[in-house]
Amino acid sequence: MRPSELRDMTVEELRQKEAELRKELFNLRFQHATGDIQNPKRLTAVRKDIARVLTIITEKERSGDQAST
């Protein structure tokens, strides 16, 4: 997912996206443990997507805090 797409989302939508990605990561880890994983590189991609979402959430929260001061 591109950061520009994520920046257009609200904080609540980003939190939902994070939850979806964490579920997907859990499923991928489970598949990896059982040897059923189709694309092992997807594990890395999902982890990076979670990091992007968390970074943008932090950016949005900090910009909101600075605007109120």
| CATH code for the domain of 37 | 1.10.287.310
Report pLDDT digits (tens) over 36-64: 999 999 999 999 999 999 999 999 999 88
Residue 45 sits in which domain range?
3-62
Computed over every residue of the chain, the mean pLDDT equals 92
Q: Is residue 69 part of a domain?
A: no
- CB-based burial label for 9 (10 Å; 0-12, 13-18, 19+): middle
Q: How far is CA 3 from CA 23, 27, 44, in A?
A: 20, 24, 16
pLDDT-based confidence at residue 68 (cuts at 50, 70, 90): very low
Q: Is residue 34 part of a domain?
A: yes
Q: Is residue 67 part of a domain?
A: no
Total count of domains within the chain: 1
Phi first, then psi, for residue 40 (nearest 5°) are: -65, -25
Q: Classify 17 as helix, strand or coil.
A: helix
Q: Is residue 68 part of a domain?
A: no
